[in-house]
Amino acid sequence: LPKPKISLTKAHKIANLNRRRVKYTSPRQGDAKVNWRTEMKRIAVGSQSLIKRRAVNDALKDIGIIMAVNSIDVPSGVNPQPVGMEEILQGAKNRALHALEGDSEAHFGIGIENGLLRVDGMTFDLAVIAIMHRDSNHWYFATSPGIVL
């Protein structure tokens, strides 16, 4: 079935609702306070991959957050096919950092790096997602479940 189209008016109302959110203060001491009232937040994704951009957009949509997403072509700084958790994680962190450097208006930088992880004679293909908040310099990490090759 085709997706219903959202009217431009409704999209503006949703964006305005997102801007009017109350202040959110992270429970971690020392983290920056984010005032959702002042402006639309922006994310820089360290990749031109349409799949990675869609993944970020879908994740934001699933949790009900509307943010502008900017894809930036950045180097991962690791091998084209990273092997091992350290190399995969480093590639994701590099992409997130370079994304923030490439977009001075972004509040968050996201790096997504896929690689191979060998455990007990099996090889998994998994992704590591690294998110950095510009103001607090705080990192958030996640992994995909991984697929046995």
Give the closest residue to 111 by CA, choosing from 48, 23, 68: 48
Supply the pLDDT for residue 85: 95
DSSP code per residue over 102-140: H-TT-SEEEEEEEEEEEETTEEEEEEEEEEEETTT--EE
Distance CA 32, CA 28 (A): 9
Greater confidence, 138 or 14?
A: 138
Q: Which two tokens stand for residue 46?
A: 């360290």
pTM above 0.75, yes or no: no
The pLDDT-based confidence of 64 (bands split at 50, 70, 90) is confident
Give the closest residue to 61 by CA, choosing from 104, 22, 3: 3
Q: Using only C-alpha atoms, what is the Rg of the chain?
A: 17
Give the closest residue to 96 by CA, choosing from 126, 125, 133, 127: 133
Supply the pLDDT for residue 83: 96
**Angle (nearest 5°) at CA 50 between 46 and 54:** 90
